[in-house]
Chains A and B, each alone.
Chain A
Amino acid sequence: MKRFAWRQPTTLASAAAFAETTVADAMVAVRPDTPARHGAVLQAGGIDNLDLMKEDLLQPNLVISLRAIPGLDKIENQETGWRIGAGATLMAVAGHPEIQAQFPALAACLNQSASPQIRAVATLGGNLLQRPRCWYFRSIAFDCLRKGGGHCFAIHGENAYHAVFDNEVCAIVHPSSTATVLVALGASVELTGPNGATRRPLLEDFLVRPKQNVRRENDLQPREILTAILLPNLSASVRMAYLRLGEKRAFDWPLVDAAVILELDASSVCRQGVICLGAVAPTPYRPRAAEAILAGKIIDVPTARSAARTALDGARPLTHNEFKLPLIETVLRRTILRAANPV
């Protein structure tokens, strides 16, 4: 880890003023065999920043802690839906009784993320903005595309844990399981700029695919702070489920996870279904053709199977991750059925 200065401002405006770079930009600035160009980066829980700095992948000269800014961890119900402060910890969100009741898939996902120790410190905002876990990306030894280098090592390397969709340029999978659920729920993010101006894009639109820009996973701008996650109100007829599959039962990244939101009518016919798959693509992946299959159907085993199979359309497995395809089919089928028939 390199030396850095530390500031803990108490207002959003001053934090934003300091934040001259994003973590993604600062990491591109770290080039092999050249003195690092420095930057100033924001830090909430610090879980991911610390990892990156310990590996010298991130060498900021200034770290700006957001922890002293009051109110960033507030969870409140507004007219249009829920506003979850980006500084709320995963544990706080997962433990919120009304979030649990209205968004059980989100609570289920959070409770399976990381470890209790990490959940107590990691924030929802930091979770969404964390950098990918690709082992080539995470090693200083590999000057990969996403860090500003010229090559993706995973596409022809050890890629069992990598993407099966949208993997032509860079084969990372998006690291946030929470994003899988939040995209399915139609969440937006609130971004506050240096003058207090805010924008509120859909999370799905905020996230960036490698073909758009391989050096970042989202559209966060310098001097911009992710201040809240906005969840729209859901009608009472919405059912949802989240399932994940990992090699380990806890403290592991999923091989695949799925969030399914179903809006059912009085006779249990699905009006609309939203599917989001995680750990299969560089961004949370919505198989629209599979969603279309759910609409207008009673959600039974054949329908779920048909949708789950359709979700594989367009998959392009790499040398070591073809095994993910049956996992996607199975996890998605089970998630759809779980959403329709909660246990």
Chain B
Amino acid sequence: MTWDWGAVADFMPRFWDGLLLTLQILALGSLISFALGLVWALLMRAPSRFVRWPVGAVTEFIRNTPLLVQLFFFFYVLPEWGLTFSALTTGIFAIGLHYSTYTMQVYRAGIEAVPAGQWEAAIALNLPVRRTWTAVILPQAIRRVVPALGNYVIAMLKDTPILMTITVLEMLGEARLFAQQDFQFTEPLTVIGVAFILIAYPASLLVRAMERRLVR
């Protein structure tokens, strides 16, 4: 096996395209998982069990079935019901939805970690319930959970190659396409492996630094 720098150079234009798409999936998928996860977490605190039970059942189901199965379901089954989206849109939604069932638990822990005295002070000041959430509870809860959310962003980064299976040309998709055309697997796979660690490792250091600063 020989290392061919020429192949690396040939792969680079495709690599940049793949990297850009990977980061796009990661950014949008994270935003969806942050937002939906918060919605789930708040719905799970609803007074009515007719809200809590369905939300609990659906999110439990999503969390305990493989992302790949969900991805295939959205990509191959939804069109049969007349719901057609691009592969990229489907992939971003599927990964965001899947991870939202994890971030909801992060938010829940963050909300529960806000001391009871904060709720009591809000009641004593007669703050409306909505205002108590937006001004007192959530700012404290979210500050605490930023590092944990960061960990899920890193996990999500490592799951983005799954989208290759529904034809999305993120980094791994581009690498495989290049390899199949040129029969050179070593160089493109090595390049994206290095790219993953160059993103994930500093990100994990950042998360650790945030843990020290934010979680008190």
Mutual binders A and B: no
**B interface residues with partner A (beta carbon < 8 Å):** none
